[in-house]
A and B are shown apart, each in its own frame.
Chain A
Amino acid sequence: MQNKSMIVCRCEEVSYDELVESASKYKCSARELKLRTRAGMGYCGGRTCRTMVDNIAHLHHPRTSDEITLKHQAPIRPVRFANLGEVKS
């Protein structure tokens, strides 16, 4: 099987094969791989797949100590809309 159906990013349903193929085709940074495939861009913000997306990108793209890593974006935990700014009617 089955790597075609083996999901790495559950939120955006990006498969292992899709990531590996994109990474080997474009030899791109982790950030670019994310933008190309949407892996890590779903509602969990990449909490599950982040290290995997990063590792796949670096199979073809050497690590440098000053590269821009995958970004974290607020909110880093789920928040209720009410906590962001409740509109009282």
Chain B
Amino acid sequence: MNNKVIIIGAGPAGLSAAITLAEKNIAVLVIDEYLYAGGRLLGQLYEEKPGTWWNGIVESERLLERAKSLEVEFLLQTSVSDLEKVDQTWLIHTTKGIFRTRHLLLATGAAESPFPIPGWTLPGVMSVGAAQVMTNVHRVKPGKRGVIIGVNVLSSAIAMELQLAGVQVAAITLPHANLLTKGNSNPLEVMNSLLHVAHMAPSPLVKIGSKLMKNDFMKKLGINFYPKNGVKMWDIPIMLRKAVVEIVGKDEVEGVILATINTDGSIVKGSEKRIKADFVCIAGGLYPLAELASLAGCPFHYIEQLGGFIPLHNEQMETNLEGLYVAGNITGIEGAKVALAQGKVAALTISQRLNAGASQHDIKLAIQDVEKTRATAHIQFHPDILAGRQQMKQIWAESVVPLATH
């Protein structure tokens, strides 16, 4: 039972790794705590270019069918609670017992980082990803009328999905500034971060506008004259000059207090207004979910462009621990297509270790494919993602003595 490769996480990285390994006739077991395979792919639905939609559910079904046809084994609704190494073997403690392997791939993806707002512990406040899963996966409306706090790629994409499902989004707006909303609460900073994803905006006007605004003066002008009631995207007002000061309600969310803010994020006194909502989403962005790498003993490095603490790894997706590999968002926050490409790299590296017919050349090509996918990605979560990747590469080069040369 030791010769099976185990993958934790059935998202795009895990599924693509499983398929690549199985194609080389390597036995694979994929463990995931969710009840469906697909990971965050399941929530995704957006228009890549006019008329072409990326439907995550269809993509994950396609991957799952391919994996199953290659006899990849799946263990869903199974949580991993601990990981330890005994001799050469990884022991994976799960709710369905202990599993053992010499080659373990962590493809655990990302989690959402929240920021606090007064009233955020009321029932009816959720992360924006939770609203997405309820709507797209479980087909349950999170409420009738919601407010999304936090303007970023993820929240605007999910707002559109909610709208498609017939859930009204009253506004996407900023949080009032506190020390934890840094980067999320300053209109100018938020505007900046939106500019590099402006090509996703549906209205040609916004697209043209964003080209004009790629210079500082225009940006300031833009934010000064930014309509107080927001610009509408898919009929949803995006309010960069308003902030939620408080979420209100007696026993559950009943609304939010919205105030007009100056370009520096400070509140215009007396502008507070109460608007109705029966649910509120907090959109604070994503960070790599790397608990298991931490339990295993991987060293971590904080790299802002990659979304937070990243386990040390190389381009071949190896950690510095023998037999432990990583792929997907655990290595840095990027889109599903990059995760798919990384999963393939990890699988080829494992195949090479197992002498199962993957050459250094194959791995090199797969790494090039990751880079190409990154360069042409539809969504970039951080504009300086490349600098972050470069930093990790350098840390690896400086800190790790190649395993192969001893």
Contacts and interface: CB of A to CB of B under 8 A. Distances in A.
A52 interface: yes
Contacts of B273: none
Interface in B216-273: 246
Interface string A1-15: 111011110100000
Given A3-B118, A69-B300, A76 B82 contact: yes
B302 A75 contact: no
Contact of A79 (B81, B116, B118, B308): B81
Residue from the set A1, A6, A10, A55 with the largest chain B CB neighbour count within 10 Å: A6
Q: Sort chain B's interface into a size bin.
A: 20 to 34
Interface residues of A, number: 31
B291 to A, nearest CB: 4
A52 B79 CA distance: 25
Contact of A77 (B80, B116, B309, B395): B80
A48 B112 CA distance: 9
Contacts of A36: none
A72 B121 contact: no
A16 B180 contact: yes
B302 A69 contact: yes
B178 A16 contact: yes
- Grouping DSSP codes into helix (H, G, I), strand (E, B) and loop, the A interface class, with mixed when no group exceeds half, is loop
Contacts of B113: 51-52
B281 to A, nearest CB: 15
B246 A74 contact: no
Given A6-B118, A74-B295, A56 B309 contact: no
A44 B358 CA distance: 42
Given A16-B180, A52-B116, A77-B81, A7 B33 contact: no
Interface in A1-53: 1-3, 5-8, 10, 16, 20, 47-48, 51-52
Interface string B107-141: 00001011111111100000000000000000000
21 contacts: A1-B246, A3-B178, A6-B120, A8-B116, A16-B116, A16-B178, A20-B179, A51-B114, A52-B114, A55-B182, A56-B179, A63-B302, A73-B295, A74-B83, A74-B295, A76-B82, A76-B291, A76-B292, A77-B33, A77-B81, A79-B81
Given A55-B179, A72-B294, A76-B292, 7 more contacts: A3-B118, A6-B116, A6-B120, A76-B295, A77-B80, A79-B95, A80-B95
